[in-house]
Structures are given as structure tokens and as C-alpha cells.
Structure 1
Amino acid sequence: MSPKDYVVAEYYIESNLPLLKAGIEIAKEESIGTWTKVYTLTESAKRLAGKVFKVDEEVRKVWVAFPVELFDIEYGGVSNILSIVAGNLFGLSKLENVRLLDIHIPEKICKKFPGPRFGIENIRKLIGTNREKRPHIGTIIKPKVGLNPDETAKVAYEVAIGGIDFIKDDETLVNQKFCPLEERVSKVMEALDKAREETGRQVLYAVNVSASTPYTLIELVDQALENGANMLMIDAVVTGIPMLQMLAEDPMINVPIHVHRAMHAAFTRNKRHGIRMVVLAKLIRLAGGDQLHVGTAGIGKMEADVRETLDARDALLKDINGIRKTFPVASGGLHPGLIPSLLKVFGVDAVFQFGGGCHGHPDGPRAGALAIRQAIEACMRGISLKEYAETHPELRKALETWSS
């Protein structure tokens, strides 16, 4: 069996059936799809059957190989991949728990996907860190909702002056009446242009265009781009990964795409049932995500398994048939005092994103952004935060506020 001819899915299974038999149930259901003998099963159909080729009883894992010919990538794409490797199997009564642990996709399928248009290196060129190679620092406009366009733009200006590289909408803000997208983008980009004139630095603003249909998605994208947006954001789990791919393949969209993952934990968090984040990370990279949230490895407020976070990160950074690398994003309960730990886990090819850890600074968002930037500077120079804070009051106040 040649790996280049199969998509290989790795599963954890709990069942009263012998493990091999349980794996065969998955292989049958997700390929030829019949629980009993049928008289329409031709020889050509049999060749499309999934095959269990490895079983590990100790850790209750099985590996199932699905022939490449089983997949319709041209029209079905990610939807078809997921319907096969993560479809009806979760509802099989003979299996008490099933978790899709990983997926290995051969080159002949990978090359049919666009991958990120920008990726890490081209985003670095936009920001100006292609030589410096430090982590990027980002913020989410806070509060999540409630600010009007003028207030949003003011916050964006303050953090841009403070030294932030990247600003994003929160996932619940799209085009509500209190902060309509068109006006919000226009005023934020005007504020960022002003900040650029004063600092010489480019700041990216990821506008949330997550919409209910392809038509409304494109409508929001058009509004954003017409008003100067230099980055888009899509919530790829709730909208569907194919909506991301649609944006990535559109030749008229020439800005990076930041991918949020709201709702992922509904099926990634349970260690016995569901889908690991590494699977989503691989598919989102193939579909064209330039940046993707992967978790914080237990640093911050969000639940996280270190190994699971690092596997998702690695899926974005490893070489895959020449496809550009996706920027891993760590976000959730972070503050400047955590930057040494974040660097130790993620390295420099990452975006560290701060919400309350920026806007909750006692002296305001600008000081919060300065404190974050100062913490990065200290780490990159090999200076302890405590020592650097002695001559940098914004960092000192941040450490006093959050590091107790």
C-alpha cells in the first residue's frame, strides 16, 4: 500500500467490539457505506473501500486508509474530506466514543488546494519583521461589542501608537447596527493611516466578515475592501472551511485572511470523542488561512493540552508540498508577564494576541500596547522582564497588575 495513494485517518476508539472490528466498522461506513451484504457492490466499488492497516490495542488506536479516488476534491473539497474521515462514524451505535486524532493527506490531494496566499513570510513583509523575525503582537478590540465606529477607531489608534502589529474584531462583532462594518472599517483604517504617518509602522486590521451565506460574505468583503481593509477575518468553524477557501481563491481579494475558531471546543476538547485541533489546522492551512488560533498551551485563561496545541502549531509550520506556512496565533487570557513563557513554547513564528491584557492596563490601551512591546523587546534582547521594567514604566505597571 503506497502512502501517496491514500488518505490515512488515525482514530481513538472505545467500543465493546474488538478494536480491529471497530475499525472495520469505520472503514465500511465511511467508504462503501453498507452494514449488510448488497447485490449492487461491484468490483470497482470494492476498490474504494477503506482499509484498516494498523491497530494499537494498548492505546486503542486504529489507522484507516481511504483510497484517493474516494475523494472529490474539485467540487467537494474540505467538505468531502470531512464527510469521509469524520462523518457518520460518530453516530455508530457500536462505538461508544470515537476521536479523529490526525489525518495524513497525500501530495496529489494537497496540491489541489490553494494554501495561504500570504503565509508567514509575506505577512512579515507587510509588518516589516521579515529581517527582525520576532513574534507579532496583536490585540482584540475590547469590549467585544458595544463600541461605535468612532470609539473603535480611537482604540485602534491608541494601540497602534503603542506598538501593536495586528488588530482584530472579536468573533461576535460583524455588522451590527451599533457598529456597522462599512463605517467601522473606514474609520479604523483612517486611524491606522494616521498612526502610520506618525510611527512609520504598518498595522493590520482583521475585519470580521463571517456571514451566513456566500452572497452575504462577499457583500461584507466588498464593503471592507472598498473602505481600505488590509486584512479579513473569518470564523471558519461556524461558517464552514469552504467559505474560507472561497475567499482564498478569489483573485480580487489580495489581503491576508485571519481565521478564528469559535465553537471548535465543542468537538476538539473532549479527549475521548470528537476531532483533534490538528485536523482542523491542516485543513484550514490547505484552504488558505494565513493566521489561525491554535490555543495557548495552558498559558492564559483557555483550557489547553500542551501537546495538542503544539501539534496544531506544527501542522501550520511543517513543510507540506511547497504550501505556504500559516501564522499560529496564541490568544486567551494573556498579558505581558506571560511573554517569556509564550516564547519558550511557541518560538518567534507566532502571533501573541492580547485582549484584556492590553486594554486592562491601568494607564489605558496605549500603555498596554507599549507594555507588550517592551516585554517582547526584553525577551529578544535576553533581558529579564523584571530588569527591563525598571526603566520602562508601562511594563512595570503591567507586571504589578497581572503578575502577582
Structure 2
Amino acid sequence: MSQHRIEADYLVETPDDPERTVATIAGEQSNGTFVRVPGETPKLLERAAARVVKFEVIDRFVGRRALPTAHPTPDQEHLTRAKFTLSWPLATLGPSLPNLMATVAGNLFELRQVSGLRLLDIRLPEPFAAAYSGPRFGAAGTRHLAGVQGRPLIGTIIKPSVGFSAQDTAALVAKLCAAGIDFIKDDELQADGPNCPFNDRVAAVMREVNACADRTGKKTMYAFNLTGDVEEMKRRHEVLLRHGATCLMASINSVGLAGMIELAKFSQLPIHAHRNGWGYLSRHPLLGWSFTAWSKIWRLAGADHMHVNGLANKFSEPDDSVIESARSCFEPMFASKTCTVMPVFSSGQGVTQMPGTYAAVNTTDLIVTAGGGILAHPGGPEAGVRALREAWDAALQGVPQADYARTHPALSMAMRAAV
């Protein structure tokens, strides 16, 4: 383990000398403090200090700092942006994801010399692969349970997001299962309140899912939101197993990294990782995380599916960021364990985004969820499911969507409704 090292790539903005700023970050995140202390010997620094292994200035300009500070700053000053890579010996923290977070994304964001800082990527040595399960199902296991091969899983979200009782939810699920949908999920706001208790919702929904599977041979995958503390999630997981559920969902920013690690240890079902709250970690381009770096933590912790937003989404994220996030889900993390996950496209999705989605990622190992795009179809949910499937058929066959729609009424109606 003494020879293994961790690497992390960053983008920094600073009004100070950039090389000195990066050296300060390296010290702050390993051996250092703001003054030299007894015992901080050259031998200790060689053994334990973070190293700057790459440094590149990418821009020098006069302008205003990207991030505010408590100290007075001029509106116009000389600023530098640079990319750099830090390397840490694994021996100082061991293969521990919680302690990795403190190392690569700890106090460095608060440093006075830093007027912008973003974590771009991380690379972990093999001992991390041995320490954590990674995805237990991924695309292959999810496809097996959902009975879908050769195309994306077509899914939806229960809408309205909250307000339905358990029986209301089950009634909608019955319609969607009859329509042949592959995947349904709770909205992340639907929890375990008295209006729709978790246990009641699972029992009512799975009665409909199982009944439809008995009739048709197709069992729709439903991701139930079991977000809670660890003991709550354990109890809810047992309920899911008792009723024959095939997926669970957790809001990973809410359960936290330690909660996710524990969930992955006991879960016997695919984990649908919902990233709600992602904006507060990422929206400013010079603060926080890239999805590539952040998602690696959760992939290794045990996520099987990860939300990546969607093209032309209802949020603020541009398409190139969505595409980069989706592609990063397929990038192997280790030689011994790839930790690849299924990206989940969501947020204002419909038939018009499907050709661009396929062109961007060139794979069908996706889950595509459309709320209004299915439930608000002029022909009803069955036509909504059919329209999404037809949109993917056209994309996979390389047929322009408008041409395919001429002989496929559900797709044609969805396209007109989207205009």
C-alpha cells in the first residue's frame, strides 16, 4: 500500500501567484498548516505530503473574482486560472471513501488565496477496488431483472410527485404496466409520510406489478424511494424483498456517503442513485465538483444507476455537460473492476430529445425517464410509452424521426404536442 497513490485534477482561479497557491493547497490537504510546526521534517514531507505532479496556466486576465470573500477586493485585478494535479500517498488515509472526500474535497475550497476552485477528476489505486463493492447489478443485472435487451429502458416518474395515496399510486402503476412500460420510479419527494406510507405503497404497487407480470410475462421495474437513516433503509429494504420488488432508490446527497456504503452492503436490489441537490455542488463553473469526479465516489460505493439530467432539460445544465456526465458513467475506474453504471436521462424529456441522446452516447445501456412526456401524451400513458419506444426504434434504425412518425401515430402525436 505504501507505493499506491491517489490523484486529483483541479481548476483554480487565484489573484495570488498560482504556483504558490497550488503549493498552499497541497500543504493544507496533507501535512501543512499556515506556519511550520515542530516535527515537520523533510523526511516526513517526503513520506506524507501531497505532491503537485502537474501544473498548467490556462488564462491570465484582468477582471473580478469568481467567488466572494470576506476581505475587501477590487472590482478589477489580475487573476490567473490554472489546471493542476495533486498526488497523495494512500498510506496516509488507506482505501477509505469518507476520508478520501476529506482529502480531495476538504478545506481547500475555503482558502483565502483561492477565488475559484473545481475538482475535475480523481484516480484511485487498486486497493479501493478491493475495499468497496462497486455496482452489483449495473446495466447487465438491471436488464436481466427488467427483461429488456437491445434498447434503453423506457421509464417514467409518478406524477403528481406527491399527493397520491398508496392506492392512487397503484392505480396509475396498473395503467403503466398495462402499457408495457419498463421502469417506474417514485419521485424523490415521495417518502414515508402519512398520506402515502412506504409499506402501504410498496404493497399496493407490487400487487399491480406482479399481477401484470403474471398476465403478460413482463415485470416492470419500480424504484421505491427508501431514503432514510440506515436502520430505516434496512427495514424498508426488507419490505421490498417481501413483496418481490426489483429496484430501490436513494437520494444519495441525503443519505450521505456512509449511508450509501451501508446500503450497498445489505442491498439485494439495484440501487437507483438520485442526485437531487447536485446543483449546489456544481452550478458555479469555478466551485465544487465535476460530475466525472463526484460520480466516481458513488459508483464505487455501490450505485447501479446515476442521474445525469437530459438534453434540452428544464434545469440550467447545458447539453455538453449532460453528455460528458453520461459518457463518464461508462469509463472504467480500475483494471480489476470497471464500476460502470447506467446513466439515467430525466428532466423534461420526450421524444424530441431521443435522436440527439443516442447520437451523443452511442449506446442503449440507458434508462430514459419521461414524466409529462408519457403521462401527458394526448393519447394517454399507453400511447406515451409507445411514442418513446418508437422514437428509439427510429434512432436505432437511423431513420429521421419525422419520417418514422408518418407511419407511427403515437410518435406523430407526441411530436406535435412537443411543438
Instruction: Name the TM-score, length of structure 1 as normaliser.
Output: 0.92
**Would the aligned equivalents of 1:120 and 1:324 in 2 still touch at CA under 8 Å?**
no
- Structure 1 residue 79 and structure 2 residue 98: aligned? yes
SS of the residue 1:333 aligns to: coil
- Residues in 2 aligned to 1:80 and 1:382: alpha-carbon distance in whole angstroms: 47
**Would the aligned equivalents of 2:54 and 2:85 in 1 still touch at CA under 8 Å?**
yes
SS of the residue 2:58 aligns to: coil
1:337 to 330, 347, 352: 352
- Residues in 1 aligned to 2:323 and 2:50: alpha-carbon distance in whole angstroms: 29
Aligned 1:171-250 pairs, distance under 5 A: 171-211=188-228, 213-250=229-266
- Structure 1 residue 323 and structure 2 residue 338: aligned? yes
Unaligned runs of at least 5 residues, structure 2:
60-81
Instruction: Name the CA shift for 1:274/1:234 in 2 (closer, same or farther; >3 Å).
Output: same
User: 120-129 or 287-296: which moved more?
Assistant: 120-129
- Equivalent residue for 2:386? 370
- Structure 1 residue 36 and structure 2 residue 35: aligned? yes
Aligned 1:92-107 pairs, distance under 5 A: 92-107=111-126
**Would the aligned equivalents of 2:308 and 2:322 in 1 still touch at CA under 8 Å?**
yes
Instruction: Name the CA shift for 1:373/1:199 in 2 (closer, same or farther; >3 Å).
Output: farther
- Residues in 1 aligned to 2:230 and 2:268: alpha-carbon distance in whole angstroms: 18
SS of the residue 1:57 aligns to: strand
- Equivalent residue for 1:388? 404
Deviation digits for residues 279-314 of structure 1 (CA, Å, limit 9, x no counterpart) = 121111111101000122x43323224443333323
Q: CA RMSD in A?
A: 2.0
- Equivalent residue for 1:56? 56
2:302 to 284, 288, 305: 288
**Would the aligned equivalents of 1:4 and 1:106 in 2 still touch at CA under 8 Å?**
no
Query: Which letter maps to 1:7?
Result: I
- Residues in 1 aligned to 2:93 and 2:327: alpha-carbon distance in whole angstroms: 25
**Would the aligned equivalents of 1:206 and 1:232 in 2 still touch at CA under 8 Å?**
yes
For these two proteins, the number of residue pairs brought into alignment is 393
Query: Which letter maps to 1:247?
Result: L
SS of the residue 2:411 aligns to: helix
User: 311-320 or 274-283: which moved more?
Assistant: 311-320
- Residues in 2 aligned to 1:384 and 1:4: alpha-carbon distance in whole angstroms: 54
Instruction: Name the TM-score, length of structure 2 as normaliser.
Output: 0.89
1:134 to 141, 145, 151: 151
Deviation at 1:67, TM superposition (A): 1.0
- Equivalent residue for 2:18? 19
Deviation at 1:161, TM superposition (A): 2.1
**Would the aligned equivalents of 1:278 and 1:315 in 2 still touch at CA under 8 Å?**
yes
Deviation at 1:206, TM superposition (A): 0.5
- Residues in 1 aligned to 2:373 and 2:176: alpha-carbon distance in whole angstroms: 12
Deviation at 1:5, TM superposition (A): 2.1
- Structure 1 residue 144 and structure 2 residue 156: aligned? no
Query: Which letter maps to 1:187?
Result: A
Instruction: Name the CA shift for 1:308/1:242 in 2 (closer, same or farther; >3 Å).
Output: farther
Deviation at 1:156, TM superposition (A): 1.4
Deviation at 1:81, TM superposition (A): 0.8
SS of the residue 2:156 aligns to: strand
- Residues in 1 aligned to 2:53 and 2:339: alpha-carbon distance in whole angstroms: 31
**Would the aligned equivalents of 2:135 and 2:299 in 1 still touch at CA under 8 Å?**
yes
SS of the residue 1:201 aligns to: coil
Query: Which letter maps to 1:70?
Result: T
